[in-house]
Amino acid sequence: MQGPDIRRKIPAVQKIWQSMPSPLPVAGYWIQRAIDRTLLDLRDQAGRGETPPPLAAVVEQVLAEARKLALPSLVPVINATGVMIHTNLGRSPLPAEIMEAVSRVSTQYSTLEYDVESGHRGSRHDHVARVLAELVGAEAAMVVNNNAAAVLMALSALARGREVIVSRGELVEIGGSFRIPEVMALSGAVLREVGATNKTHARDYTGAINLETGLLLKVHQSNFRVVGFTEGLSTAELVKIGRETGLPVMEDLGSGVIDPLRLDGVVEPSVREVVQAGVDIVTFSGDKLLGGPQAGIIVGKAPIIDRLKKYPMARAVRVDKMTLTALEWTIRWYLEGRSQELPLWKMMSETLDSVQERAAALAARVRGRVLGPVAVDTASGFAQIGGGSMPGTQIPSCVLRITPDDARGAQRLEQRLRLGNPPVIARISHGSVIFDLRTIFPSQESLLIDTIVMALQETL
């Protein structure tokens, strides 16, 4: 048979539509897209001399394709990596109770920029500014899209066309796309680096100050640590230089914890401590150690925050009502002593005993449902904070360990889990697939077991 003759055997679009089940399993849009794709494939195949399958098989193919197309792209996953603030997996999870408040505010009109007492226009900053300032002991606060935007805007508003002095030990890169020298260039401020990678002294700062200097900047060494002979200025020491020279001092804290955090001998200073040291403005993220929504938080002296609120860039990096609601509630939970109920802090503070118990129970349940050449047990492990916060600090944890008999089994299983529904993100270590229980919510356990069992059935 020749190509054109085979092509005539490909079912017509109308025929395929007539054979569709009623009601349609997914929106008609996706069916049409799937028909287009399937017919394209069949025409290609016909061109190569392949006879098309019968109508029923084509319909099956279209339905399978349509179901795939109809799946959303941004979906929940089970984070079995043990990295709590996992930037690729959405950083801090938010509590359902707070998301209900977000839903209430977002599905109706709200007081976003309206002052009910005066009946006039209000400011979107006010909702969180008061509670935020109260929480960290600052005069004023504002919120923008993320901390990168906060740093960019603050540098631009306070030091455009002027020099900003930073220690060479603090010219950090965060997540590949945020680098202090590049953000500085973009802001229009001129980077004046001082000191050495491991040591910067007060005289390095004072020696660099001149008539062009606009700001002294301290950047938290978020995602790395320098060990050995190191020296840098404390916030208080930098503030002292700022006071003596009449220059504003800014600190990019990165993560920003509310209660001072000591882990593994590493201490993360709280925002309140940094504010108390006298810094003019402090910037930090909403979705790192705060455990809230993505946001860039700026706290500090009222005149400077007022200047920032009026700076034209503020309009370009402003946050929407969903973020503001989630952040207001996150802050309120801290004030009300409920921060331990935020998913991030729940995870962080779960006792090792409890994590071990959950791992053992999970292992027993998986073992009970899997027959085949695979070992299922638990092992001790270490979870991490992640998100460029407190690098190297290890939080004792417990993992579920699945070890297939054959050497490539772990790779196949890890891949199959990633493609599962929901996707399960685990890691491979020494021929085993490892699931860290600290980042797996108790409410996800049954679904996790089903997904693991299905993946094992398909890969063993």
Ligand X SMILES: *Cc1c(COP(=O)(O)O)cnc(C)c1O
Applying the rule CB under 6 A, the residues between 316 and 345 that interact with ligand X are: none
If one asks whether residue 147 binds ligand X (CB under 6 A), the answer comes out as: yes
**Residue 234 or 340: which CB sits closer to ligand X?**
234
- Contact stretch for ligand X (CB under 6 A) within 2-10, 216-224, 260-268, 271-279: 216-224
**Cβ-based nearer residue to ligand X, 58 or 289:** 289
**At residue 274, what is the residue type?**
V
Q: Does 218 bind ligand X (CB under 6 A)?
A: no
Q: CB of 416: closest distance to ligand X in angstroms?
A: 32
Span between the terminal Cα atoms of the chain, in Å: 42
Shortest separation between residue 306's beta carbon and ligand X, angstroms? 23
Local structure of residue 88 (DSSP, 8 states): G
Q: How far apart are CA 277 and CA 451, in angstroms?
A: 50
Least Cβ distance, residue 259 to ligand X (angstroms)? 18
- Using rule CB under 6 A, residue 178 touches ligand X: yes
- Alpha-carbon span 184 to 190, nearest angstrom: 7
- For residues 255 and 270, which CB has a smaller minimum distance to ligand X in the complex? 255
Quote the CA–CA distance of 182 and 179 in Å, as a whole number: 5
At closest approach, how far in Å is the CB of 245 from ligand X?
Answer: 24
Beta-carbon contacts of 400 under 8 Å, excluding residues fewer than 6 positions away, are 359, 362, 363, 366, 376, 378, 434, 435, 437
State which of residues 93, 254, 291, 386 lies at the interface with ligand X (CB under 6 A).
254
Shortest separation between residue 265's beta carbon and ligand X, angstroms: 20
> Helix (H, G, I), strand (E, B), or coil: what is residue 211?
coil
| Segment contacting ligand X by CB under 6 A, of 12-20, 249-257, 367-375, 440-448 | 249-257
Nearer to ligand X, 151 or 385 (CB): 151
> Nearest Cα to 180, choosing from 206, 145, 218, 144?
218
Nearer to ligand X, 148 or 257 (CB): 148
Cβ proximity to ligand X, 82 vs 286, nearer residue: 286
Cβ 190 vs Cβ 184: under 8 Å: yes
Considering only the stretches 110-118, 247-255, 357-365, 404-412, report the one whose residues sit in contact with ligand X under the rule CB under 6 A: 247-255
Asked whether position 148 contacts ligand X by CB under 6 A, the answer is: yes
Tell me the closest approach of the beta carbon of residue 257 to ligand X, in angstroms.
12
Looking up tokens 């395929």 gives 16
Q: How far apart are CA 386 and CA 389, in angstroms?
A: 6
Q: What are the phi and psi torsion angles at 397 (to 5°)?
A: -145, -175
When binding is defined by CB under 6 A, the residue of 79, 167, 285, 459 that contacts ligand X is: 285
CB 172 within 8 Å of CB 179: yes
Q: How many CB atoms lie within 10 A of CB 121?
A: 8
Does the footprint of ligand X cover residue 252 (CB under 6 A)? yes
C-alpha–C-alpha distance, residues 90 and 11, integer Å: 44
Q: Which residue among 81, 156, 200, 222 contacts ligand X (CB under 6 A)?
A: 222
Q: Applying CB under 6 A, which of residues 220, 272, 365, 438 lies at the interface with ligand X?
A: 220
Closest to 252 (Cα-Cα) out of 175, 147, 165, 391: 147
The yes or no reply on residue 174 touching ligand X (CB under 6 A) is yes
Smallest gap from residue 146 Cβ to ligand X (A): 3
Q: Please name the residues in contact with 90: beta carbons below 8 A apart, sequence gap of 6 or more.
A: none
Our finding on whether 388 is near ligand X (CB under 6 A) is yes
Q: What angle do CA 265, 297, 284 make, to 5 degrees?
A: 25
- Of positions 38, 81, 92, 146, contacts ligand X by CB under 6 A: 146
Stretch that binds ligand X, among 55-63, 171-179, 328-336, 393-401 (CB under 6 A): 171-179
Give 22's contacts (C-beta < 8 A, 6+ positions apart). none
44 CB-near residues (< 8 Å, 6+ apart): none
Measured at CB, which residue is nearest to ligand X? 254
Considering only the stretches 39-47, 98-106, 215-223, 392-400, report the one whose residues sit in contact with ligand X under the rule CB under 6 A.
Answer: 215-223
Location of structure tokens 């021929």: 431
Interface positions with ligand X (CB under 6 A): 146-148, 151, 172, 174, 178, 219-220, 222, 252, 254-255, 285, 296, 388
